[in-house]
Amino acid sequence: MSIFNEIPPTAGLPLSIKEALPIFYNKTPGRLENDFRRFLEVDYAYITYSGTAAFYIILQAIKKISPKKTVIIPSFICPLVPLAIERAGLKTLVCDITKDSFDFEIKELEEACYKNNDILAILPTHLAGIAINLDPLMNIAKKNNIFIIEDCAQSLGAMYKGKRLGTIGDFGFYSLCRGKGITIYEGGAITAQPKYAKLINETANETAKNNYLSESLKLLEILLYWVFYRRELFWFAFRMPQIFWEMQNKPEKAFIEYFTPNFPVHKISERRKAVGHMQWERLEKEISNQREKAQYYIDHLGKINGLKIISEPTGTFSNYPYLTLLFDKEVAANKAFNLFNSSGLGVSKIYLYAITCYKYLNNIYSPGSSLNAQHTAKRHLTLTTSTFLKKNQQDYIINKIKDL
């Protein structure tokens, strides 16, 4: 391991100096929104302060047109999701995922929706750019008058049966946070079916206000992102703080999984939107490179006994910001994680726990099944597809996993 050769655990886009400095920004309004509309082939897109803020605005909007109060989420998901639901004054109901995928346990989901007439929305979450099976969810939602909100925080560019993720349900939201493909350091986007566009606009204008100080600080953070988001310096921005929190025995903070409901919901300046716009022409090439690296792993690890790879299902297209491995045995997963944890090779985890196992969240969701998610949390490992990852480093990782 070298502190001057740390590879990020996800495939974020590094910025050019032109993208990082405000003097180069063209502040023409609406260009980033137009990028989303054109790329996703939708009529409506709205840029937000973060993916969490996008989800929160959607929840605030649909509260106006439905008296229902409960949102169903998968058992393996970012802790910010139930916090956003709580802040919106709604209730969270957890539904388990399947044993070997990120899909909902459909029978459990059906039962929850048919027995409970308070279900406002279902949140299919396309983790790791893997499209989950949307057809049964859409059928359940239609029969029970439930909204579908697609969580595409990790899946910009991925597709399901020829359609971009985030355009199939009633609403979709994306993250433009650091390390997640196109970035404005912290940002997000909303897509909505045309009949809900006015509702989202009105709600966003009511909810998100200008904060010039925050926006100025974000421009500075974009510049710092340009400085540190490279393998020679990334250790200082990512691994060093992680080591500090590990030494304090605070794993949730080490893996950046400790949050509060007080996330910002400010408006985004045109300067920051311009940063995202300038990166857009690189997106599809970067996705192609990510897919190539993921496929290389799949080709070399796909036939190992005791190991399953969560790859794109038939009829879907993944952007593969990282690749997820599932070991049959927890001991093998732990051995692999410990082997690579300090390697600087971008080997990590999606989340530490099932969502029901974060103690600081215990009071904000209704008890639900999470046994499969608990197994996934304990048995999984992620392999980065970062632009900084070289073929010889992939070979090293492959050989070490084969030797476990």
Digit-by-digit pLDDT tens for the chain (404 residues) are 578 999 999 999 999 999 998 777 777 889 999 999 999 999 999 999 999 999 999 999 999 999 999 999 999 999 999 999 999 999 999 999 999 999 999 999 999 999 999 999 999 999 999 999 999 999 999 999 999 999 999 999 999 999 999 999 999 999 999 999 999 999 999 999 999 999 999 999 999 999 999 999 999 999 999 999 999 999 999 999 999 999 999 999 999 999 999 999 999 999 999 999 999 999 999 999 999 999 999 999 999 999 999 999 999 999 999 999 999 999 999 999 999 999 999 999 999 999 999 999 988 877 678 999 999 999 999 999 999 999 999 999 999 999 98
Q: What contacts 76, CB < 8 A, 6 or more positions away?
A: 97, 102, 125, 127, 350, 351, 354, 355, 370, 373, 376, 377
61/171 same-domain check = yes
66/148 same-domain check = yes
CATH number of the CATH domain containing 353: 3.90.1150.10
Torsion angle defined by CA atoms of residues 349, 352, 355 and 361, in that order, rounded to the nearest 10 degrees:
-140
Query: With the C-alpha atoms ordered 131, 132, 135, 140, is the resulting torsion angle positive or negative?
Result: negative
- Whether 244 is covered by a domain: the verdict is no
What SS3 state is found at 325? Answer: strand
* Among 207, 231, 260, residue at a domain's last position: 207
- The interaxial angle of helices 135-144 and 106-115, nearest 10 deg, is 10
For residues 11 and 322, what is the distance between their CA atoms, to the nearest angstrom?
A: 7
36/161 same-domain check = yes
Tell me, what's the pLDDT at 22?
Answer: 73
For residues 402 and 372, what is the distance between their CA atoms, to the nearest angstrom?
A: 25
133/26 same-domain check = yes
Total number of domains in the chain: 2
Tell me, what's the pLDDT at 1?
Answer: 59
Tell me, what's the pLDDT at 133?
Answer: 98
- Whether 290 is covered by a domain: the verdict is yes
82/173 same-domain check = yes
* Among 207, 228, 260, residue at a domain's last position: 207
For residues 164 and 86, what is the distance between their CA atoms, to the nearest angstrom?
A: 29
201/293 same-domain check = no
Cβ–Cβ under 8 Å, residues 208 and 265: yes
For the entire predicted model, the pTM comes to 0.97
Please choose, from the candidates 350, 395, 364, the residue with its C-alpha nearest in 3D space to the C-alpha of residue 77: 350
For residues 228 and 239, what is the distance between their CA atoms, to the nearest angstrom?
A: 12
- Whether 117 is covered by a domain: the verdict is yes
- Whether 81 is covered by a domain: the verdict is yes
- Whether 230 is covered by a domain: the verdict is no
For residues 191 and 172, what is the distance between their CA atoms, to the nearest angstrom?
A: 5
Residue 383: which domain range? Answer: 281-402
- Whether 166 is covered by a domain: the verdict is yes
Q: What contacts 307, CB < 8 A, 6 or more positions away?
A: 301, 325, 326, 327, 328, 332, 401
CATH number of the CATH domain containing 75: 3.40.640.10
132/36 same-domain check = yes
- Whether 232 is covered by a domain: the verdict is no
* Among 207, 230, 256, residue at a domain's last position: 207
